[in-house]
Amino acid sequence: MNTAHTAARVVDAVKVYGSGDTEVRALDGVTVGFPAGRFTAIMGPSGSGKSTLMHCAAGLDALTSGSAAIGGTELSSLDDRRLTVLRRDRVGFVFQAFNLLPTLTVAENITLPLDLAGARADAEWIDALVDVVGLRDRLHHRPSELSGGQQQRVAVARAFASRPDVVFADEPTGNLDSRSGAEVLGLLARAVRRMDRTVVMVTHDPVAAAHADEVVFLADGRLVDRMPEPTAERVLDRMKALDGPRAEADIPEHHTQGVPS
């Protein structure tokens, strides 16, 4: 696997929960890289392992076996303190819940991770970020004065504030109406293209996935397909096939052997 331009990757990733009769193999030997400067969506049926893959790739959860890395840093080589610092400095997160602090203004919420780390915000970067997410006229408002879509835009800006190597987004439009969701997806795509960022997004929505440069598909804890330049229609068709009983049997062998990263 070429790691020179890979923002995050997992190799032979296995994640097992429980043991004995209750054992669940959430990831079953997944190898996948997420290219730097690209927007990648992770999709799959419920229980396919897509959120587990994101959590392990981001260092929020440890693999049972295999390896995970952010850039050239193997996560298994880090103790808890260094892993915390890596997540703080090099990884951004956007979740379905906005997780904004209600007593802080929009501007204060955006720079909160930097403030907690005792780091100085790059004023020029934050200024450009505010323009990308379209919040200049809301900087002194508090979250309760914003719509859901605006709150999620604040969360996106916060995720990018420290110039992380990669931003992981877990169902970022799950709590939004379709119009607000489209705005948030559009700004994630703009951050990738205009600010040379990397985004990895877990979603169940083919329309959301169509905003990405590429979609990777999981089924039963295994990587089963990749789709560059996705459209909502093609993604929906692929998901219908994965939901069928012969989903994996229908996938050409070359899709699962030596998957490029």
Q: Is 234 exposed, middle or buried (0-12, 13-18, 19+ CB in 10 A)?
A: middle
Query: Residue 113: what pLDDT?
Result: 86
User: In a structure prediction context, what are the per-residue pLDDT tens digits for the chain, which is 261 residues long?
Assistant: 444 589 999 999 999 999 888 999 999 999 999 999 999 999 999 889 999 999 999 999 999 999 999 999 999 999 999 999 999 889 999 988 888 999 999 999 999 988 888 888 888 999 988 988 889 999 999 999 999 999 999 999 999 998 999 999 999 998 888 889 999 999 899 889 988 899 999 999 999 999 999 999 999 999 999 999 999 999 999 999 887 654 443 333 333 333 333
Query: Residue 260: what pLDDT?
Result: 34
Q: Which residues contact 194 (CB under 8 A, 6 or more apart)?
A: 132
CATH (residue range 6-91+165-255)? 3.40.50.300
**Long-range pairs of 185-192 with CB within 8 A, sequence gap ≥ 24:** 185/211, 186/211, 187/132, 187/133, 187/134, 187/153, 187/156, 188/39, 188/94, 188/156, 189/39, 190/132, 191/129, 191/132, 191/156, 191/160, 191/167, 192/37, 192/38, 192/39
Q: Is 31 exposed, middle or buried (0-12, 13-18, 19+ CB in 10 A)?
A: middle
Query: Residue 244: what pLDDT?
Result: 65
